[in-house]
Amino acid sequence: MPAVITDRDARTVSGSLEESLALFREIFSLDATFRQREVRSGAGVRCCLLYLDGMVSSELVNQSIVRPLILAAPAEGDVADWMEHQVLYANDVARKEKLSDLLRGILYGDSVLLMEGAACGLVINSKGWRTRGISEPGNETVQQGPREGFDEAAMLNLAQLRRKLLTPDLCIEMLRLGRRTDTMVFVCYLHSLAAPQLVRQVKERLAAVDIDGVLDSNYLNELIRDRRHSVFKTCGSTERPDVVAAKLLEGRVAVMVDGTPVVLTVPYLFSENFQSDEDYYLSFWVSSVGRALRYFCFLVTVALPAFYLALLTFHQRLLPTFLLLSAAQSRAGVPFSSLVECLLLLLLLEILKETGARMPPNLGHTLSIVGGLVVGQAAVEARLVSAPMLIAVAVSGIAGLMIPRLRGAVFYLRLGMVLLAAVLGLPGCFLGLTLIFARIVGLSSFGISCVGSLEEPTVQGLKDTVVRLPWWMMKTRPVFNRNRRRQGGGGKGR
């Protein structure tokens, strides 16, 4: 069995090279990628280089470590200090005594140099794994604006963020989470804008996470968010560096996890569900129309099937005569009740959406034609469903595509509204809407109200909600900000 080394392990490297190598061979006894390269330096010092194949750059190892060692002049004084400051060409060399620190370096793609007679090891930066590269996120495409997206490598992501915010005010703090994955997590914020209590709360919640592994930012999202059982999001997520930079400029905090391109941003206001990434890159006239349509589509996708079901079941007299006759005629021969018919169509809609999201892109259009047109038309002609109910559910589904950030919540809200309408009719619909709005008003994200903009019903408070005002009118930042002034006034006051 391989030995296990943890951060709490206080063992250090001994001065015997053979003893140290025996311990590392035991630790990596079941790892076929573990490599050790023994080198006798030009000064006669016996050394051994340890690394994992595939995690390091062969060119860096050969040119920055092995070659300088072989050509080194005789050592003077402490051998480890001589190697670190006079021999190695690498840009980052750290001297470590603890075995846990050396092991962490190897696992993260660095090389470890052990020397005979030195009670320490040198962790040398030699990372060389391949990354996906910078490309536009597939689910956050824009017609106008930057085309950059985050990668899975956190250091590259931090570099992209730094390019957007060329200021020493950008703070980046690191911690490690996951007992077995030891994943690097970075907390990013602008010191002069982010409220100290917000930053402190984020770090406290992250520090309280105790889990065996963190492979994606959603692990942390579910563990640190407010109201864990709510269907509404209280943590934002994005794969775009420009979006994260914009959030930081509003006093928010970003949480970046190594190994995933998805970055969390907090606090998360409810109005952000209706914002598009390109709202700020297009004319404010165009953006405002799209923003208002998204709010309208939220009401349509949640309430339309329920209202139609309530009218058809309990309040037929409220329907126009021709519409009532048409609905009655279309339902002739349908074997299911209106409620069962509506639920079946909603379920079929979700199946089509999930299938379209999971299928290869080249089959997506075929699925849309077969599922939406052929099957739908055949179901109506076979009298399995009525055309008006199919239209109501289809319009509700199309409207839901306008607000992808609320996709998960919309399904449950729509289903709950339908059940209330089937039991109580229109009063059930209005009760459902009231409960939804009450739930939204009660949401909070890291102690900050998710509808905080409504607490300040002024032009500046509502400037970026239902519509987007032009940039020259966006003079203040959100209410939770440490420094409200965005432009003008020398950065002071409101």
Judge whether 485 lies within some domain: no
Judge whether 480 lies within some domain: no
Judge whether 226 lies within some domain: yes
470 with 460: CB under 8 angstroms? no
Same domain? For 260 and 376 the reply is: no
Which pLDDT does position 413 carry in this prediction?
Answer: 95
Handedness of CA 225, 227, 233, 234 (dihedral sign): negative
How far is Cα of residue 484 from the mean position of the Cα atoms in its chain? 26
When divided into structural domains, the chain yields a total of: 3
Same domain? For 188 and 241 the reply is: yes
Same domain? For 92 and 177 the reply is: no
3-state helix, strand, coil in the chain (%, to 5): 45, 15, 40
368 with 374: CB under 8 angstroms? no
Which pLDDT does position 88 carry in this prediction?
Answer: 87
Same domain? For 347 and 258 the reply is: no
Judge whether 425 lies within some domain: yes
Judge whether 414 lies within some domain: yes
Distances from the Cα of 213 to the Cα of 110, 176, 216, 217, angstroms = 21, 10, 9, 11
Same domain? For 210 and 338 the reply is: no
Which pLDDT does position 363 carry in this prediction?
Answer: 65
Which pLDDT does position 8 carry in this prediction?
Answer: 57
Handedness of CA 299, 301, 302, 308 (dihedral sign): positive
Each of the 494 residues of the chain gets a pLDDT tens digit; together they read: 455 556 656 678 887 888 889 889 888 988 899 999 988 877 778 889 999 998 888 888 888 888 888 888 776 678 888 888 888 888 889 999 888 889 999 998 899 999 888 888 999 998 887 777 778 887 888 888 888 899 888 988 999 999 999 999 999 999 999 988 889 999 999 999 999 999 999 999 999 999 999 999 999 999 999 888 889 999 999 999 999 999 999 999 999 999 999 999 999 999 899 998 888 888 889 989 999 999 999 999 999 999 999 998 888 888 788 777 877 777 777 788 889 889 988 998 888 888 777 777 666 666 666 666 667 777 777 778 888 888 899 899 899 989 989 988 999 999 999 999 999 999 999 999 999 999 998 888 998 888 876 666 777 777 888 888 888 888 888 877 777 777 765 444 33
Same domain? For 306 and 420 the reply is: yes
Same domain? For 319 and 425 the reply is: yes
Judge whether 35 lies within some domain: yes
| Tokens at 36, concatenated | 């050790």
Which pLDDT does position 437 carry in this prediction?
Answer: 92
Judge whether 287 lies within some domain: no
Same domain? For 315 and 399 the reply is: yes
- 3 state DSSP class of 150: coil
Q: Domain of 181?
A: 154-268
Q: Note the pTM of the prediction, 2 decimals.
A: 0.86
Judge whether 277 lies within some domain: no
Same domain? For 364 and 254 the reply is: no
Which pLDDT does position 494 carry in this prediction?
Answer: 34
Same domain? For 440 and 311 the reply is: yes
Same domain? For 437 and 305 the reply is: yes
Same domain? For 365 and 254 the reply is: no
